[in-house]
């Protein structure tokens, strides 16, 4: 099952500093999850000045329960970087210029 994740950081004064402090843990975790084939696409969301304000990901897990288990242990969640997280089931049709779904 595939999921589109759009996660926005907090807007408090310490939000950017918190993100940057936790970023190494987040990237290390993403590397581990990617090695399992669960990360299809991921990147940062930026504001009009190029500052990071959130993250967008397309991920694949066996089911919603497995995804929820991943999310509750995500460093940006544990360290309160992400404050507004939207998760939607998605069906990826094209990836890397290839048709992968219907």
Query: Could you read off the pLDDT of 28-77 as tens digits, one per residue?
Result: 999 999 999 999 999 999 999 999 999 999 999 999 999 999 999 999 99
Helix (H) or strand (E) holding 59: strand 52-60
Please tell me the distance from the alpha carbon of residue 8 to that of residue 84, in angstroms, as a whole number.
5
Q: Which of 50, 71, 54, 67 is nearest to 2 (CA)?
A: 67
Domain map (residue ranges) of the chain: 2-96
Please tell me the distance from the alpha carbon of residue 56 to that of residue 43, in angstroms, as a whole number.
6
Q: What is the phi/psi pair of residue 66, to 5°?
A: -65, -40
CATH number of 2-96: 3.30.70.1060
> What is residue 99's predicted lDDT score, i.e. its pLDDT?
76
Q: Coil, strand or helix: which one is 66?
A: helix
Q: What percentage of the chain carries pLDDT values higher than 70?
A: 98
pLDDT of 94 strictly over 70? yes
Q: Which of 14, 5, 21, 22 is nearest to 64 (CA)?
A: 5
């Amino acid at each position: 099952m595939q999921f589109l994740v759009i996660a926005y950081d907090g807007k408090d004064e310490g939000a950017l500093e918190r993100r940057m402090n936790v970023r190494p843990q987040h990237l290390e975790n993403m590397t581990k999850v990617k090695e399992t084939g669960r990360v299809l696409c991921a990147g940062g969301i930026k504001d009009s000045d190029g500052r990071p304000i959130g993250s967008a990901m397309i991920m694949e897990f066996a089911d919603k329960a497995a995804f929820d288990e991943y999310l509750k242990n995500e460093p940006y969640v544990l360290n309160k970087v992400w404050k507004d997280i939207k998760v939607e089931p998605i069906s990826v049709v094209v990836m890397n210029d290839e048709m992968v779904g219907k």
